Amino acid sequence: MTSDAAFTYNGGKVAPGERQNLRYGISETYLGDPVRIPVTIINGERPGPTVFLSAAAHGDELNGIEVVREVAFEWDLDDLAGTIVCLPVLNVQGFLTQQRYLPIYDRDLNRSFPGDPTSTSAKRMAHAIFRNFIEPCDFGLDFHTSTRGRTNMLHVRADTGDDAVSRLAYAFGASVIIDGAGSDGTLRGEATKAGVPTITVEMGQAHRFERSLIDDALDGVRSVFAEYGLQESGRVRWPGWRTVVTEKTWIRADAGGIVDMHHDRGSLVHEGERVCTITDPFKAAGTPVEAPFTGVLIGVLENPVVYPGNPICHLAELDPETARIVDRRQAGR
């Protein structure tokens, strides 16, 4: 579907060739003051698809905020064919308190979509966001980071069994795509069910801007815009190697202590290679943690202390040929 008409939401519209910045009310505080999310809508003069870019459904996940803001306010969009709906901070209360969840009974906004106007506070907020700014779109990119204490390499999560979602995931150009429909209530899962193919982009860690990942994600957005014809400039990118992950493993600690990581996120580790060592406060003894198979570290621990059973790293298996390509690239050959 292409759009050559105004983008409408409950309370307003944005005509072709117009841009609108608004703070849209989705709830109220204990004092009856409005809870409003920032929204920027850019409607191009030329017809084309409508895409949403969203971030901070978890309030402490900041990298995606800068991606969405830069697209909205730093990109030259004079040649835009279609409409961009920019939602940089979905979870305003969590953002203000720098918490992952809504500080209302600790609700997860990203398990509350598509929402319900007669249910919990979280579902009422989700409903207002979903009906006004998600459902009218043709596809969407939802930006996240790892939870605090861990960090992720940039990767995409997508239901590749859905052809429209698969096209979007490949267009973004990440090396790793984790295949799966996602949990009930997630923005990407519920939007896809509603006919708006959506992917999640995971990148980095909470509570900070990481410039290299932000730039990489912006390249992914440019690639998507090229694939769907939103901009004449740009091209669909090839990341150099790609794997679609259906099986992944959390490597967990078998001992308590202080973790010395030997590899960073995105690194290739070979079967039997030591990923990290867990030591006691005296460093007198160490428990090695080895890779059970050859793969890429999607996510690793940032907070270096663990109990037995705590996750240390997220490892995705690579086939031998892909592993050789990754090995050569990381060695600079």
pLDDT digits (tens, 9 = 90+) for 301-322: 999 999 999 999 999 999 999 9
* Tens digits of residue pLDDT in 20-60: 999 999 999 999 999 999 999 999 999 999 999 999 999 99
Q: Please name the residues in contact with 274: beta carbons below 8 A apart, sequence gap of 6 or more.
A: 262, 288, 289, 290
Task: Name the residue among 209, 71, 239 with its Cα closest to residue 140.
Answer: 71
- Among 29-33, 188-192, 311-315, 329-333, the range scoring the smallest mean pLDDT is 329-333
- Measure CA 80 to chain center: 24
pLDDT digits (tens, 9 = 90+) for 83-136: 999 999 999 999 999 999 998 877 999 999 999 999 999 999 999 999 999 999
Instruction: Report how far apart the first and last C-alpha atoms of the chain are (Å, whole number).
Output: 44
pLDDT of the residue at 1: 41
Question: Domain map of the chain by residue range?
Answer: 7-228, 248-330
Q: Say whether 66 sits in a helix, a strand or coil.
A: helix
Portion of the chain with pLDDT greater than 70, in percent:
98
- Do 109 and 94 touch, CB atoms closer than 8 A? yes
> How many angstroms separate the Cα of 180 from the Cα of each of 105, 165, 251, 259, 311?
28, 11, 20, 30, 21
Please give the pLDDT value at position 182.
86
Asked whether the predicted pLDDT for residue 217 surpasses 90, the reply is yes
Answer whether 308's CB lies under 8 Å from 253's CB.
yes
Q: Has residue 282 got a pLDDT over 90?
A: no
pTM reported for the whole predicted model: 0.95
The band of 4, judged by pLDDT with boundaries at 50, 70 and 90, is: low
Q: What's the sign of the alpha-carbon dihedral 164, 165, 167, 172?
A: positive
The answer, yes or no, to whether residue 285 has pLDDT greater than 80, is no
Cβ pair 154, 217 in contact under 8 A: yes
The reported pLDDT for the residue numbered 233 is 84
Whether pLDDT at 18 is above 70 = yes
3-state secondary structure 149-186: CEEEEEEEEECCCCHHHHHHHHHHCCCEEEECCCCCCC
**In the prediction, which pLDDT does 283 show?**
82
**What is the number of residues in the chain?**
333
Query: What's the rounded mean pLDDT across residues 149-162?
Result: 96
Q: What is the pLDDT of residue 333?
A: 56
Contacts with 49 (C-beta within 8 Å, 6 or more apart), sequence order? 1, 2, 3, 82, 83, 138, 139, 228, 229, 230
CATH: 3.40.1190.20, 3.30.70.260, 3.40.630.10, 3.40.47.10. Which one for 7-228? 3.40.630.10
* 180 pLDDT higher than 60: yes
Domain 248-330 class in CATH: mainly beta
Q: Give the residue among 245, 247, 248 at the shortest CA–CA distance from 176.
A: 245
Residues 114, 137: Cα–Cα separation, whole Å: 14
